Amino acid sequence: MAQTVRAVVAPGRGEKVSLTDIVIPDPGPGEAVVAIAACGVCHTDLHYREGAINDDFPFLLGHEAAGTVDAVGDGVTGVSPGDYVVIAWRAPCGTCRSCRRGRPWYCFASENAAQPMTLTDGTPLSPALGIGAFCDKTLVAASQCVPVDAAARPEAAGLIGCGVMAGYGAAVNTGGVSRGDTVAVIGCGGVGNAAVAGAALAGARTIIAVDVDPRKLDWARGFGATHTVNAKDTDPVEAIKALTGGFGADVVIEAVGRPETYRQAFFARDLAGVLVQVGVPAPDMTIQLPMIELFGRGGALKSSWYGDCLPSRDFPILIDLYLRGKLDLDGFVSETIGLEDIELAFEHMQRGEVLRSVVVL
């Protein structure tokens, strides 16, 4: 029997979200229905509402969630009803050209539910990042459900599902940060501060956190930043150079998604350094760089989708680090809110008051 549940829907470009009823079909072959326990509010949800991702409105927002498997469809063997899971927006298909080449973390045909969730009038919804978890229950591909230790409270565990994994993985997987590296992170929201935490766990010797908001920089110190730079008062490129013997950092992570911060990241690298872009730009943004600098500085300019993670490998690792007190997921949970508070959470995000507002159901 299809179920009607409450959900947060973005109806059109730039329009406020509304809490409304949606219809969740029974899980078909390979699908699972998950009862959501908690879901973080990521900046990408706001990008969706602004129409900055694509125009496939109406969107069912929310994609950073932990919950319990409610029901599974035919042929599902990986999870069963009652399993405690974090939902991933990457579920490698195993058969696309990237998976076949042994690079499942780039999978070009990641699995999602085949059936649509709909408004009560039958209008199909586009679930954010193939998840859609600001709701009582959601329908996903069963392969998107990654079982994790139930000792991790859902408010914290859910954050692994996007922002924390994206930031941590940008440093550790994409940037390859390792012992002795110097690292700078530009933009220290939930994603950037997870990159700070990842760099610290990987053994970076210098971690420079850059933001325009002193509150974010305070948080960054807590996650392991050795130095902080307020880009409102100080030129971040000069500051990063000054803190790295005049050379620039080995790895610079851009976690804002703007041309000016990308440019700063580009010039704040040491020779042969790595730039990792995590911030999502708007479709109309462009950047100009001198070609001689692109060549002459060497190194690599990379973008990081979801921290190049393999959820089935990486989620349980991050949860173990959390349960051992090595990764402070609780430190990202700035406030807990209800489903009716998403617009308020967007305001808190825009005013810089939170790392994560987390919906608890």
Ligand X SMILES: NC(=O)c1ccc[n+]([C@@H]2O[C@H](COP(=O)([O-])OP(=O)(O)OC[C@H]3O[C@@H](n4cnc5c(N)ncnc54)[C@H](O)[C@@H]3O)[C@@H](O)[C@H]2O)c1
Binding site for ligand X (CB under 6 A): 42-44, 47, 162-163, 166, 186-192, 210-213, 216, 231, 255-257, 260-261, 278-280, 304-306, 349, 352
At closest approach, how far in Å is the CB of 162 from Zn ion? 3
Please list, residue by residue across 317-337, b when 16 or more beta carbons sit within 10 angstroms of its beta carbon and e when fewer do: ebbebbbeeebbbeebbbbeb
Q: Under the criterion CB under 5 A, does residue 162 sit at the interface with Zn ion?
A: yes
Taking CB atoms, the residue at the shortest distance from ligand X is: 189
Q: Which does 96 bind (CB under 5 to 8 A by kind): Zn ion, ligand X, none?
A: Zn ion
To the nearest whole angstrom, how small is the minimum distance from the Cβ of residue 40 to Zn ion? 8
* Residues 99-158 close enough to bind Zn ion by CB under 5 A: 99, 107, 109
Which partner, ligand X, Zn ion, none, binds residue 99 by CB below 5 to 8 Å per kind?
A: Zn ion
Sign of torsion over alpha carbons 177, 181, 187, 190: positive
Shortest Cβ distance from residue 134 to Zn ion (Å)? 12
Pick from Zn ion, ligand X, none: which does 257 bind, CB < 5 to 8 A by kind? ligand X
Binding-residue pattern over the window 81 to 100 for Zn ion, x denoting contact by CB under 5 A: -----------xx--x--x-
**Among Zn ion, ligand X, none, residue 184 binds (CB under 5-8 Å by kind):** none
Report 225-244 residues binding Zn ion (CB under 5 A).
none
Q: How far is the CB of 305 from ligand X (least distance, A)?
A: 5
Return contacts of 90-99, CB within 8 angstroms, 24+ apart: 90/305, 90/306, 90/309, 90/310, 90/311, 91/141, 91/143, 91/144, 91/311, 92/310
Whichever of 44 and 226 has its CB closer to ligand X, that residue is 44
Should residue 186 be labelled a site residue for Zn ion when binding is judged by CB under 5 A? no
CB of 174 to ligand X, least distance (A): 9
Nearer to Zn ion, 42 or 202 (CB): 42
107 binds, among ligand X, Zn ion, none (CB under 5 to 8 A by kind): Zn ion
Tell the smallest beta-carbon distance from residue 3 to ligand X (Å): 29
**Residue 42, interface with Zn ion (CB under 5 A)?**
yes
Q: Which residue has the tokens 């922002």?
A: 163
* Burial class, 290, CB count within 10 angstroms (exposed 0-12 / middle 13-18 / buried 19+): exposed
Shortest distance, CB of residue 29 to ligand X, whole angstroms?
29
CB of 264 to ligand X, least distance (A): 7
Size of residue set near Zn ion by CB under 5 A: 9
289 binds, among ligand X, Zn ion, none (CB under 5 to 8 A by kind): none
| Sites of contact with Zn ion (CB under 5 A) | 42, 44, 92-93, 96, 99, 107, 109, 162
